[in-house]
Structure 1
Amino acid sequence: MKLSLRRALILFAAMLFALATGMTAAQAVTNFNNAPNGAHYAKGSAEPVCTVTDATVSCTGTAIEGVGNTNATVTLAVTNTISGVCHNPGTNSKIVEPFSRSVTANTSTNLTSTKNGRLLVPAQTTQGKSTADFLATFKCPNPNWTPEVTSNVLSFTYTLVFAGFTQPAIRITG
């Protein structure tokens, strides 16, 4: 009984930490039904893991065996949804224009299987849009107004799609 209570408290503390820091868990799905028959992670390899640091998403590499001569494409798309307001610079700094923009950056790599039916999937990294970078190029409709970003939410999608298949064998979202 003591051990399960301790585990429950640790899990609860981890969930509170995740909520307090704004962390969200990535959702990973590997479905080798969307791959050549016999595809599997190579010994010592596993599903890629994606991490977010500031505005950068990095996903680990992996190796898949049993793919025959089938090539694949790995893609990492990072989207920032940036919201804010424009201020009129008068004495009240009145809010005059709300805005919301989505900005997506993609990295895509075509992968060729080796002669032994092994696919080496390299690590992927894509830089999202920081608030400072966004403000450096964003202009309010009136040049006298000043933009203020109120939220910058980053999301990402990592996919590995084999040639001849329409759905990803690996999909990670966060």
Structure 2
Amino acid sequence: MKKSLTRVLTLFAALFLALSAGMIAAQAETNFDNAPQGAHYAKGYGEPVCTVEDTTVTCTATRIEGVGNTNATVELAVTSTISGVCHNPGVNSKVVEPFSESVTETTSSELTSTRNGRLIVPAQTTTGVSTEDFLENFSCPNPNWTPEVTSNVLSFEYTLTFAGFEGYPAITITG
């Protein structure tokens, strides 16, 4: 009973720390049906883990064996969906125009299998658009209006797709 309570409290503390750090809940799926027959994670490796810090997403490296001489593409796309309003300056500072824009930053790499049928997948990192960077390049329709960002929602998609399986990733992680 005491061990069970300790585990529950430890899980609760970990969840609290993750939420307070602003982590995005990620959904991960490995489907080796979309890979060469015999593909599997190398011993000591597994599905990549993606973490978010501010507007930067980093996914860990992994290794996949049993791929023969089939190459792959790994891609990490980070989308910043920024919403806000334009204010008409004046006594009331009225909201005159809402806006919402999405900006996607993508990194991709072509991976070549080794002669022993191993695919070494390096860590991937991509940075989305910060509120400050967005405001540097955004202007309201009227130059006298002032933009105010009310939200900047970050999402990402990591995929690893083998040659010959285009459109069907073997690994997909979204958050």
TM normalised by structure 2 equals 0.93
Counterparts in 2 of 1:19 and 1:160: CA distance versus 1, 3 Å: same
1:119 matches 2:119: yes
Which residue number in structure 2 is paired with residue 167 of structure 1?
168
- 1:55 is matched with 55
Q: Structure 1 residues 3-12 or 135-144, which shifts more?
A: 3-12
Q: How many residues align?
A: 174
Distance verdict in 2 for CA 1:145–1:126, change over 3 Å: same
* Structure 1 residue 45, shift from structure 2 partner: 1.9
Q: 1:20–1:63: structure 2 CA closer, same or farther, 3 Å change rule? A: closer
Aligned counterpart, 1:135: 135
Extract unaligned runs of 5+ from structure 1: none
1-structure distance, mates of 2:18, 2:60: 22
* Off by >3 Å, runs of 4+ in structure 1: 12-22
Shift of 1:18: 4.1
Residue 69 of structure 2: SS of its match in structure 1?
coil
1:48-87 superposed matches below 5 A: 48-87=48-87
Tell me how far apart the structure 2 counterparts of residues 139 and 58 of structure 1 sit (CA, whole Å): 31
Contact 2:80 2:103 in 1 (8 A): yes
How far off its partner does 1:11 sit? 2.7
User: 2:104 matched to which residue of 1?
Assistant: 104
Secondary structure of the residue aligned to 1:140 is: coil
Q: Tell me which residue corresponds to 1:42.
A: 42
Structure 2 gap segments, 5+ residues each: none
Letter in 2 for 1:40: H
Greater shift in the superposed pair: 55-64 or 138-147: 55-64
Partners of 1:30 and 1:92 lie apart in 2 by 54
Cα deviations by residue, 1:26-60 (Å, 9 ceiling, x for unpaired): 21111111110100111222211111111111111
Secondary structure of the residue aligned to 1:78 is strand
State the secondary structure of the residue aligned to 2:101. strand
The aligned residue for residue 9 of structure 1 is 9
Identity of aligned residues (%): 76
Structure 1 residues 114 and 17, CA gap change in structure 2 (3 angstroms): closer
Tell me, what secondary structure is at the counterpart of 1:129?
Answer: coil
Partner-residue secondary structure (3-state), 1:96: strand
3-state SS of 2:102 partner: strand
The 8 Å contact of residues 85 and 96 in structure 2, kept in 1 or not, is answered as yes
